[in-house]
Structure 1
Amino acid sequence: MEEASSPMISIKQTLQLQDHHAKQPPSSPFKKSSFVSSLMEAAALRSPSFREDSYFVSHLKSSERKALKQLKDKLTATAATAPPDVSMWGIPLLAFGNDRADVVLLKFLRARDFRVSDTLHMLLNCLSWRREFEADAILDQDLGFKELEGVVAYMHGFDREGHPVCYNDYRVFRDKDLFERVFGDDEKLHRFLRWRVQVLERGIKLLHFKPGGVNSIIQVTDLKDMPKRELRVASNHILSLFQDNYPEMVARKIFINVPWYFSLLYSVFSPLLTQRTKSKFVISKEGNVAETLYRFIRPEDIPVKYGGLSRPNDLRNGPPKPASEFIVKGGEKVNIQIEGVEGGSTIIWEIVVGGWDLEYSAEFVPVAEGSYTIAVEKPRKMAAAEEAVQDTFTAGEAGKLVLSVDNSASRKRKVAAYRYTVRKPTAISNQLE
């Protein structure tokens, strides 16, 4: 397989007038942006990395270290009088010198502001719930929700810091028949709750539970067309279960496709939320989904439905092939040129623009004089709902492939990404790595 870096790649950006009523002197042409500056702009869209609390005992305040020791002592005393299975996620909580146990105990302590008695009560209740709920065995159970897998709640990829990402999208329950099949009675609701816990446990299985490691997940919740009233009971149960039994397991909560009224609700409930909770929230209205997710997750890890390059089966083949990111400004046309393509080679590429709503085209330009440019993909308007383009082209002669995204008709900046592979005639595989 010829690596993507073998042919030369260049990006040329052509700026066009965004405001037709603006007065621009003819002698002052627009300055062309470089590919480097485009990448710098892409990086600037990201907020600083989320800083989780430290799980190194040496980093704790003296009062916090004291609380951790007291919790261990109380837990040991409790286990001596009425020995429960004092372990969680396969981690024995009373093992001497076990820093993985310290990570778990610190999560419960932080959830109760280091109040030792309250923390012990919460921890014992959680251990009891896990036994009754059979949470440790839930990963291997078939709960009969195949139609919801990869649709309603699912783990998919990692963020830029290595946190597993869980996506939530409940719009399918607008279908009354499906809603009745899943939530029709208490037994069905209980089974759904078990399935939802199963999804979370899959994410937790990916955590390190080590100081300095990845110890929490990212939650992305899509609020588009979510049936709020119908899901109120299920949502309350899920929230209660997670708050009581999975403390400090979420590093960041990203809400996407947020409706206009959400900001009103948030302003009402915001005073009731702790600053710690609010610091984890990221709120993105409809139309800004890709730009928001690119701040935290690389495009090759973002599902195609949200402006990324990742398809459901991609993750089965190991880590995804990295993609390159760039910015398409309003009033700008960007040409990606894959140069140095040999005759007989096959180019396989993917390209996506968050929220598309612009024109896309592809052409092959031969090197030889007198050869004609081939329209691989004629210019076509890509609707906002379009997913990533995935295509191939076999070159009959040496030349370059030019991918164009034309945002001239818009004032809105858009995030974009692409990746490609060039397969020489002697190569066997023609799949993206």
Structure 2
Amino acid sequence: MNDINANNSYNRKPLSPKEQKALLQLQENTKDIADQNSYDLEKWLRARCFDVKKAEQMLRNSIEFKQKIRVNTLLQEYKPPEVLRKYLTGGFCGHAIDGSPLRVELFGKLDIKGLMFSTKKSDLEKTKLLQCESTIKDWAEQSKKLGRPVDGLTVIFDMADTGTSMLWVPGMQMYLHLVKILEDNYPEMMRRLLVINAPRIFPLLYKIARPLISDEMKQKIH
């Protein structure tokens, strides 16, 4: 983990005058939305290349989606079905040197087809949201512990044992749908995704997945 830790300091580029103007405009446009500070609003702008209209729409869509799912109750009230608790691979594995969380995704061990036939789509979505809310909670705890802001998430994407079963398109679409939930509702949460143990079929998998991956996510894959 040394390489990850050594480069995990998260420094945002200072805003240009044009970007600062966009931030002020987004602040003005979202006065009716509670608990939106400039630091968080900047994330929505970065996710939409500082297009104020698109960033505002993204934010409002996310708020509506989270209210519908009752995201603010997940940590206290939601318990994923037993099949997801047992067989949804991966999890948090510690913190980088700056205090931000590290997560491992054991893609090659994941039986996405089995999970899709054993549980509801809504439970897969809620479980992904629960992971995101747990990350935010961890940021708060780490910030308090270290006495400085902690942000970001590094995902180690372990593809060991990945076989042709992962070429099942509905499964790949579902997996990327869950990733999109993160992108659409928690912009700038994932700092980067590090692929390890890439199999021979990785180029084929990426070719299939590429049209479904946002440009922003592509830039975070290493």
* Alignment TM class, shorter chain as reference: 0.7 to 0.9
Which residue number in structure 2 is paired with residue 250 of structure 1?
190
Which residue number in structure 1 is paired with residue 12 of structure 2?
54
For the Cα contact (< 8 Å) 1:151–1:169, is it kept in 2? no
C-alpha separation in 2, matches of 1:264 and 1:222: 17
Match of 2:175 among 235, 247, 259: 235
> Which amino acid letter does the alignment assign opposite residue 52 of structure 1?
Y
1:97-147 per-residue CA deviation (whole Å, 9 max, x = no partner) reads xxxx22211110000111111110000000001100111111122222376
Determine helix, strand or coil for the equivalent of 1:237: helix
Determine helix, strand or coil for the equivalent of 1:167: strand
C-alpha separation in 2, matches of 1:108 and 1:247: 6
Give the alignment of 1:35-74 within 5 angstroms: 49-50=7-8, 52-54=10-12, 59-74=14-29
C-alpha separation in 2, matches of 1:202 and 1:73: 30
C-alpha separation in 1, matches of 2:121 and 2:175: 11
Match of 1:184 among 117, 128, 134: 117
1:194 aligns with 2:126: yes
**Aligned Cα root-mean-square deviation (Å):** 3.3
Match of 2:106 among 169, 184, 193: 169
1:303-339 per-residue CA deviation (whole Å, 9 max, x = no partner) reads xxxxxxxxxxxxxxxxxxxxxxxxxxxxxxxxxxxxx
C-alpha separation in 2, matches of 1:46 and 1:153: 18
Determine helix, strand or coil for the equivalent of 2:130: helix
1:214-262 per-residue CA deviation (whole Å, 9 max, x = no partner) reads 2211112222334421622421320221221111111110112211232
C-alpha separation in 1, matches of 2:120 and 2:86: 17
Structure-2 change in CA distance of 1:51 and 1:125 (3 Å)? same
1:159-209 per-residue CA deviation (whole Å, 9 max, x = no partner) reads 233220122124444497xx1xx3227x62211221122122211212259
Determine helix, strand or coil for the equivalent of 1:205: helix
> Which amino acid letter does the alignment assign opposite residue 207 of structure 1?
W
Structure-2 change in CA distance of 1:174 and 1:242 (3 Å)? closer
Structure-2 change in CA distance of 1:53 and 1:122 (3 Å)? farther
C-alpha separation in 1, matches of 2:207 and 2:120: 34
**Which one has the largest radius of gyration?**
1
> Which amino acid letter does the alignment assign opposite residue 54 of structure 1?
R
1:110 aligns with 2:46: yes
For the Cα contact (< 8 Å) 1:221–1:253, is it kept in 2? yes
Structure-2 change in CA distance of 1:46 and 1:233 (3 Å)? closer
Cα displacement (A) at 1:72: 0.8
1:28-51 per-residue CA deviation (whole Å, 9 max, x = no partner) reads xxxxxxxxxxxxxx97x6796245
Which residue number in structure 1 is paired with residue 136 of structure 2?
204
For the Cα contact (< 8 Å) 1:49–1:161, is it kept in 2? no
Unaligned runs of 5+ in 2: none
For the Cα contact (< 8 Å) 2:6–2:97, is it kept in 1? no
Identity of counterpart residues, as a percentage? 22
Unaligned runs of 5+ in 1: 1-41, 80-85, 94-100, 283-433
Structure-2 change in CA distance of 1:145 and 1:254 (3 Å)? farther
Which residue number in structure 2 is paired with residue 155 of structure 1?
92
1:259 aligns with 2:199: yes
Structure-2 change in CA distance of 1:47 and 1:155 (3 Å)? closer
For the Cα contact (< 8 Å) 2:96–2:102, is it kept in 1? yes
For the Cα contact (< 8 Å) 1:145–1:195, is it kept in 2? no
TM-score normalised by length of structure 2: 0.78
TM-score normalised by length of structure 1: 0.43
